[in-house]
Amino acid sequence: MLDWLRMGGYGFYVWSSYGMLALAIVVELFALRQRRRTAQRRADELRAEQPLRPAHFRGNSE
């Protein structure tokens, strides 16, 4: 098992690579959740301040 981890002497390089990928994914997923939480919170605050407005007053085009 230890032999497999050592990857024929290249363990440092192989696991640094796979490790960075894993780290990047974890960071991205975490940031994703943070963004969602912040968006929900801000949306709730906005709705608390301003009651339901008719959709057709919004100026955005579809």
Partner 1 sequence: MTTFARFWYRYASPASFYPLAGRLTPLFAVIAVLLAAAGLYVAFFVAPTDWQQGEAYRIIYIHVPAAWMAMFIYLVIAFWSAISLAFNTRLSAMMAQALAPTGAMWAFVALWTGAFWGRPTWGAYWVWDARLTSTLILLFLYLGYIALRASIDDPRRADRAAALLALVGAINVPIIYFSVRWWNTLHQGATISMTAAPKMAQTMLTGMLLLTFAAWAYTIAVALYRVRSIIVEREAASGWMSRLAADSRGQSDDASASGAMAR
Query: Closest CB to partner 1 among 2 and 9?
Result: 9
Minimum Å distance from CB 40 to partner 1?
6
Positions touching partner 1 (CB under 8 A) are 7-11, 13-14, 16-18, 20-21, 24-26, 28-29, 31-33, 35-37, 39-40, 42-44, 46-47, 50, 52-55, 58, 60-62
Please give the C-alpha separations between residue 2 and each of 9, 15, 30, in angstroms, as whole numbers: 11, 13, 31
C-alpha 7/C-alpha 12 separation (Å) is 8
